Chains A and B, each alone.
Chain A
Amino acid sequence: MTTGAVLSTHDLAQRLAEAEATIEALLSGQIDAVVDSKTQTPVLLSKAQAALRESNEKFHQLADNITDVFWIRSPDLREVQYVSPAYERIWGRPVEPLYADPQKWMEYILPEDRDRVATAFAILTGDGPSVDLEYRIARPDGEIRWVRSRGFQVRDAAGVLIRLIGIITDTTEPRRLQAQLMVSDRMASVGTLAAGVAHEINNPLAAVIANLEFVAESLGSMGSQPSATWLLEEIKEPLEEAREGAQRVRLIVRDLKIFSRSPADEPSDAVDVKAIMESSARMAWNEIRHRARLVKDYGVVPAVRANEARLGQVFLNLLINAAQAIPEGRAEHHEIRVSTRLAGERVIVEVGDTGAGIPPEIIGRVFDAFFTTKPIGVGTGLGLAICHRIVTNQGGELTVESELGRGTTFRVALLVADEAESKEPVPVKPAPVVGRRGRILVVDDEELVLHGVKRMLWKEHDVVVVPAATAALALCASGEKFDVILCDLMMPDMTGMDFHGELSRIAPEMVDRVIFMTGGAFTARAQQFLSTTSTEHIEKPFHAANLRAMIQRYLR
């Protein structure tokens, strides 16, 4: 029998006694060194303690001074083991109560964000190795702050979850700056184009004015020229030209509207990329035309889910970038190609140019904020960074391909909108007017509008015009009946919204007869009102045929 192969009970008892003695000696401070079981070398306890003390100090120096909150919690989150002092600055609350009652952590989160946070952290206590989310907290001074919280699992060598640690960053200020930058960049791109657009508007407007003056003069001289046929011949063409010029102004203003929506209100809708690209191309035309031909290659694509104004901003930016990559003067030799196609669940929109191309060493940085290759004053260095963010926020992707000397192509991949979302604008048929003669009340503070609308309608209907909502209310209160009330939305003394409210009180039977006429410059309240009310509206400027068709529906 070999010795030492089997541990006898005596040996076992002795080893236990030795272990006990070792522990006792350790506890009573009689031990100087311990052999590290991994490296099998002795470690002086005094050194180990000093090292531990030092590492502890370093940890505190770091944790106490970083501006982020650093926390340690038990694997089940029931216990808060450490929270760095930055907590007191961000939360505006003392840290001690958190140790006593870890539930307080949740209490300080805004109620509407709590479920999201609870779900994320439930995953962290289970099998999710990390979480990363943003939520809002309420400070005792009433201020709401955004924080980004990243949490991680810590496991020992055996894979057992021993604690949870995390970092929380105050993102309130970065978020505010981001929003500001996005607005200022939009202002910058609109600013770049302001001169071009003014030019675009002034030309047709000059034609309108000139033609109308000519007509007025012709009518003034009618006395000596009694022939009505002559007059008709004389003024027909200038009137036609004036109408055409006005039509062009209307289109330009509509394009401009895309870029001027308030940033606070950013809903995603089913939108037509081709229409937005066309608007953007018209806006950028002044930049493009001296440099390149614009080639359009629109494939048939479904609507995408995006915000119209933001997507317009992206396209405009890409078009202007494309134009600025091409030197001026040889427009026939260069092209900017815009295309749309469907690739699976995504609509691909490309803007390509035959310009200078981007050197490979900087192509990785083109989406970085403040990275610009343009001279100072030409680019903000934010355009592409913001485009990238906008596209990503809408669930899409913005990528770039470039070849030095051959050109650059930016590719926007956007999610196809759900079918339920795509609301095709109902085509208004200029239906032949056959309905009965109605009684129409028109309310607008702008005299020119009152006259214009009256002129559009007076042949088929009895038209009453009033310059203020108060006057309209007085009429309705006195028992006058109307088939349709056309009311301006934004008037100085009483808005269309207030008129609508008052009318439902004094003459409720007339309320569903109201059609709002809207300008363009909406207040947030007006937008909110229009999106919730069942009352129809028609956007100024409108065609007589559309207005007549709308009114006919109320006369049936």
Chain B
Amino acid sequence: MATKTELSDVKLQLRLYVAGNAPNSVRAIANARAICEEHFNGSHDLEIVDLLDHPVRGLADGIVVTPTLLKLMPLPVQRVIGNLSDTSQVLLALGRA
């Protein structure tokens, strides 16, 4: 019960893994930015990580494919795989539906 209140209090922390400027990666970055802009109104951090440049970071986060969006905070950690074109699915995964 307490967690629920905490959830909305904690700043949304997202990390998007992409692969250079491959088509789905470019699309995922655009989609992620648009969703954040529209639904979270600046109360979020979105970090974009290029897996090709930082493979070790990907390993640490257990990344298998790109694009992968990680919701790091609030817990639990959630991942969304794909180019994030389905906004409602993304919001559901982020617990903001």
Known: A18-B81, A32-B18, A33-B51. A42 touches B67 (CB 8 A): no
CA distance A40 to B19 in the complex (A): 15
- A40 and B56 CA atoms in complex are apart in Å by 9
Stretch at the interface among B2-10, B21-29, B34-42: B21-29
Q: Are A40 and B59 in contact (CB under 8 A)?
A: yes
Residues of B within 8 A of A18 (CB): 79, 81
B20 in the interface (beta carbon within 8 A) = yes
Q: Does B64 contact A (CB under 8 A)?
A: yes
A32, closest chain B residue (CB): B22
Least CB distance from A209 to B in Å reads 102
Judging by beta carbons under 8 Å apart, are B55 and A30 in contact?
no
CB pair B52 A21 closer than 8 Å: no
Q: Contacts A18-B79, A21-B81, A22-B81: A30 and B51 contacting too (C-beta < 8 A)?
A: no
CB distance from A354 to the nearest CB of B (A): 74
Q: Is A133 close to B, CB under 8 A?
A: no
Beta-carbon nearest neighbor of A22 in chain B: B81
> Given the interface contacts A42-B51, A42-B58, does A32 sit within 8 Å of B82 by beta carbon?
no
Residues of A close to B19: CB separation below 8 A? 32-33, 42, 44
Main secondary structure of the interface of A (DSSP, over half): mixed
Beta-carbon contacts under 8 Å, A1-48 to B? 14, 18, 21-22, 24-26, 28-35, 40-42, 44, 46
Determine whether the beta carbon of A34 is less than 8 Å from that of B59.
no
How many residues on chain B are close to A (CB under 8 Å)? 24
Q: B55-83 vs A: 1/0 string, CB under 8 Å?
A: 10011000111110000000010011111
Instruction: Let me know if B20 and A25 touch, CB within 8 A.
Output: no
CA distance A22 to B80 in the complex (A): 9
Among residues of B, the one whose C-beta sits closest to the C-beta of A18 is B79
The answer, among A30, A35, A46, for a CB contact under 8 Å with B58, is A35
**Known interface pairs A21-B81, A31-B82, A35-B58; A46-B64 also in contact (CB < 8 Å):** no
Instruction: Determine the distance from Cα of A33 to Cα of B52 in the docked complex, in whole angstroms.
Output: 9
| A532 vs chain B, min Cβ distance (A) | 78
By the criterion CB–CB under 8 Å, are A25 and B81 in contact? yes
Q: How far is the CB of B65 from chain A (nearest CB, A)?
A: 5
In Å, the complex CA distance between A28 and B58 comes to 23
Name the residue among A24, A25, A46 with the largest chain B CB count within 10 angstroms. Answer: A25
Report the bound CA distance from A21 to B80 in whole Å: 8
Query: Chain A residue with minimal CB distance to B56?
Result: A40
Cβ distance B13 to chain A, nearest Cβ, rounded Å: 18
Query: In the complex, A33 Cα to B65 Cα: how many Å?
Result: 5
- Bound-state Cα–Cα, A24 to B89, Å: 13
Known contacts A40-B55, A46-B22; can you find 17 more A-B pairs with CB under 8 A?
A: A18-B81, A21-B82, A26-B65, A30-B67, A31-B24, A31-B65, A31-B81, A32-B22, A32-B25, A32-B66, A33-B25, A33-B52, A34-B64, A35-B58, A35-B59, A35-B63, A42-B66
Chosen A-B contacts, 17 in total, with CB atoms closer than 8 Å, are: A18-B79, A21-B80, A25-B65, A29-B24, A31-B67, A31-B81, A32-B18, A32-B22, A32-B23, A34-B64, A35-B55, A40-B59, A42-B19, A42-B55, A42-B58, A42-B66, A44-B22
Which 3 residue pairs of A and B lie closest in terms of their CB atoms, listed nearest first? A32-B22, A33-B19, A30-B82
A: residues with CB less than 8 A from B are 14, 18, 21-22, 24-26, 28-35, 40-42, 44, 46
